[in-house]
Structure 1
Amino acid sequence: MPEQQVLVLDPTGSGPDAEHQALRERGPATLVDVLGVRAWSVSDPALLKQLLTSKDVSKDARAHWPAFAETVPTWPLALWVAVENMFTAYGADHSRLRRMVAPALSARRIAPLLADIETLVTGLLDDLGVLPADESVDLREHLAYPLTIAVIGQLMGVPADQRAEFRALVDNVFATHLSAEEQAANTAALYGLLDALIATKRIAPGEDLTSLLIATRDEEGDGSALSDAELRDTLLLMISAGYETTVNVIDHAATALLSDPQQLAHVRNGRCTWHDIVEETLRHEPAVKHLPLRYALTDIPLPDGQTIRSGGAILASYAAANRHPDLHQDADQFDATRRSKEHLAFGHGVHFCLGAPLARLEVATALRMFFERFPDAQLAIACQKLQRLPSLISNGHTSVPVRLRPTTS
């Protein structure tokens, strides 16, 4: 089969729906340009699941991507493939790193956090409640962000006065419109914050996951548990993934409910649950559109006769796969009452997101309490006018302006 023309993905993320449709129309997988790097975008859910569970596909760029050394110095997304943590690990290394974090994020350990999350949401809604009745407020900025940053900050032991700086730097990690130089400076600043956090916790450890990981690292004198780089990059993964993605799900869930009163009526009248709202949001608008990168360890034949050659880069295109017509009828429609809400928003296989129970709990709690407090809330602008985040990775809006208690003139 002749090679397809490479589809250049938009780094500003301005028109994701049309882009994802174009990917699906090009077949199960197609060659794309990701900020100058050629990769196979996989949008067919069956093929994607196959690749995500295949031992012939790795996430370790250093070991299995021939282009790693020449690409990383000039690629804006270098951090996504150069970090040394479970996100980029393969085989036994991945199992070792995941075992250290998994117990702290299990559903059993997360469930007791409900009371703390409800307390945080109550405080944020109280702050919103004192605003003038018809004043527009950014729900992303004043509910989604402060809630998720507070939760992950407490879990990881990030001091409250450092969370805003962490947020600004992590936001830039997902901003794919920045240059390689801008991203390199951002990475250096982010690592500076992480190094300072590690140093502080070594002197004054607390009841948090950062202190636990440091203790695990320091108690193993031979470094078999965590290297210094793995410790720092594991903290980076936990802090960044722990809030940015959850913000996006709250954003899109609230937007869906505010723009379609029928969906909100479904949950209010018992035709679906808040859990259903969360799962349909994850299917319809997953927090991550494309996740770089994986690498073929051998030639991988594709269903349409093409071949991913050994060493080729693979891009998991979750958002396109979630709306594939083979997975769902009327896939472009948000319907919280649909029977099957199967999705790949948290990945699949050994790299399935450890933070899924926490994210689901935060989103469901925030939505339930927000719409109980402000049952008449409305979007302040038309849904079609909401601006997308400048990212081909992160799937959210720059703001979600809402009138909490609209007044009639």
Structure 2
Amino acid sequence: MGDQSRLVIDPTGSDIHGEADRIREKGPVTRVELPDGVEAWAVSSTELLKRLLTDPRVSKDPRRHWPVWINGEISPEWPLFTWVAVQNMFTAYGGEHKRLRTLVSKAFTARRSAAMQPRIEEITKGLLDRIAEALRKGEPIDLREEFCYPLPIQVISELFGLPEEKGSELRAVVDGVFHTSATPEEVTDNYARLYAAMGELVILKRELPADDLTSGLIAARDDEGDTRLSEQELLDTLVLMISAGHETTVNLIDNAIHALLTHPEQLAHVREGRAKWDDVIEETLRVQAPVASLPLRYAVEDLELSELGGPDGVVIGKGEAILAAYAAAGRDPGKYGEDASRFDVTRLDKEHLAFGYGVHHCLGAPLGRMEARIALPALFERFPGLALAVPQEELRPVDSFISNGHRALPVRLS
């Protein structure tokens, strides 16, 4: 059954995989303590997590199924407040989720994402040209700052019609959403700035609609009759899609570059035709999930985990919170064997849950994969002598137990 004493989650995310190991050591599911003493069950077994993510007795709606929220025990100063408070498809359940996802899907179509490919290639080339100038001078550069971050944020900005001059403010408030050790003052200030930015964008697009996702969502808000988005759902959907839409891709590209630079034999597999760039992307998503842990889900009724293939005698009680521990599940030895933590692009089983599973599977997954599929080969073909500019142990993680990436990724040409 495992040790069911609570493990306190480090809000700074200083050791994502060490903590994931400790979670797994306590069993496939274990009690954890989130910031401010909020309790949850962390699920680290890949198969058990898949079953819970698709079980109709598991909800994402705190307003209906989380007594702690319903009773007013969660403060707006809680670092994870935005993750729970939003009213969009991320926190919807049942018919409400289907309604919201259907409306969003009308705006965020596969055709619209696929049409971005030439523009993504153009943005990538421009960034690499700028990087080449710095590298030719022999200067180390921060690839996260100069490549991993600007590519996805430019793509998401153009998709949503965000004015170019709002880019720095967008980056600041999105970083704030993932900053899980923020002070109460930082949390409330960021929340206000986030919604001010989204409100300004909606006003602009109502006055000057265009062929972009924001205008499409506004149409879903204004033109869909009884099923339409409420004004709050519109704002919260923008928060979800703009925030998650670029942070996860930043981390995917960052982690893939880092993995290849620290595992040259894996890069050789790709260069010599034994693996493809898609193998790099999927193995990176598995072994370095861009979202390490995702809050929250809630048991609609008592869940006897043995009925779901989980441990005997463990019950997640009605109304208790569940944390999807994606970083831990991606390295689950029960699924991937004793070398589960090893980055291996030739691994046969690279199935993962990094983009979620079931009805809440990430709508933007194809776009994120396409950005990585364009960016990674372009970078390594342009700069075959790329190398880390500092010892690996000097790299620092982002200040978050949700977001899994590096604060900086300094590189040089060897």
TM-score range, shorter chain: over 0.9
Equivalent position of 1:34 in the other structure: 34
* Uncovered stretches (5+) of structure 1, i.e. residues with no partner: none
Shift of 1:127: 0.7
Pick aligned residue for 1:389 from 398, 403, 410: 398
Judged with a 3 Å threshold, the aligned counterparts in structure 2 of structure 1 residues 73 and 110 are, in CA distance, closer, same or farther, namely closer
Correspondent of 1:374 among 383, 387, 392: 383
Q: Give yes or no for contact 1:217–1:223 (8 Å, CA) kept in 2.
A: no
**Aligned counterparts, 1:56-135, within 5 A:** 56-68=57-69, 69-131=72-134, 132-135=136-139
In structure 2, the CA distance between the partners of 1:200 and 1:27, relative to structure 1 (3 Å rule), is same
Please tell me the residue identity of whatever aligns with 2:356: G
Q: Which amino acid aligns with 1:140?
A: R
Selected match of 2:325 from 292, 297, 317: 317
SS of the residue 2:90 aligns to: coil
Q: Which runs of 5+ in 2 are unaligned?
A: none
Aligned partners of 2:2 and 2:27 also within 8 Å: no
Amino acid at match of 1:340: D
Deviation at 1:138, TM superposition (A): 0.5
Equivalent position amino acid for 1:52 in 2 = L
**Contact map agreement 1:296 1:313 (CA 8 A) in 2:** yes
**How far 1:74 moved relative to its partner?**
4.2
User: Does the Cα contact within 8 Å between 2:3 and 2:27 map onto a contact in 1?
Assistant: no
Residue 301 (structure 1) shift: 1.3
C-alpha RMSD over aligned residues: 1.4
Cα deviation digits, residues 239-290 of structure 1 (max 9, x gap) = 1011011000100000011111111111111111111100000001010010
346, 358, 369: which one pairs with 2:355?
Answer: 346
Q: Check if 1:286 corresponds to 2:294.
A: no
- Give me the whole-angstrom Cα distance separating, in 1, the residues matched to 2:198 and 2:411: 35
Counterpart for residue 7 of structure 1: 7
Residue among 222, 244, 248 paired with 1:245: 248
Segment of structure 1 superposing worse, 178-187 or 289-298: 178-187
Does the CA-based 8 Å contact 1:284-1:319 persist in structure 2?
yes
CA distance in 1, matches of 2:105, 2:270: 32
**In 2, Cα distance between equivalents of 1:315 and 1:150:** 31
Q: Partners in 1 of 2:236 and 2:26 — Cα distance?
A: 36
Return the TM-score normalized by structure 2: 0.95
1:32 counterpart SS class = strand
TM-score scaled by structure 1?
0.96
Partner amino acid for 2:18?
A: A
* Residue of structure 2 in register with 1:264 after alignment: 267
State how far apart, in whole Å, the 2-side matches of 1:224 and 1:273 are: 43
Q: Give the equivalent residue in structure 2 for 1:142.
A: 146
Structure-2 residue corresponding to 1:44: 45
Q: Secondary structure at the match of 1:243?
A: helix
Q: How many residues in Structure 1 have an aligned counterpart in Structure 2?
A: 404
Tell me which amino acid in the other structure corresponds to 1:318.
Y
- Distance 1:148-1:225 versus aligned 2 partners, 3 A rule: same
State the distance in 2 between where 1:19 and 1:3 align.
Answer: 15
Please state how far the C-alpha of 1:223 moved relative to its aligned partner.
Answer: 5.7
Separation in 1 of the partners of 2:111 and 2:245? 18
Deviates more, 1:68-77 or 1:91-100: 68-77
- Conservation of the 8 A alpha-carbon contact between 1:276 and 1:336: yes
C-alpha separation between the residues in 2 aligned to 1:192 and 1:28?
Answer: 41
Query: CA offset at residue 108 of structure 1?
Result: 4.4
Structure 1 counterpart of 2:168, one-letter code = A
Sort the Cα spacing of 1:62 and 1:279 in 2 relative to 1 into closer, same or farther, 3 A.
Answer: same
Q: What does 1:204-219 correspond to in 2, within 5 Å?
A: 204-219=208-223
- 8 Å CA contact 2:57–2:300 kept in 1: the answer is yes
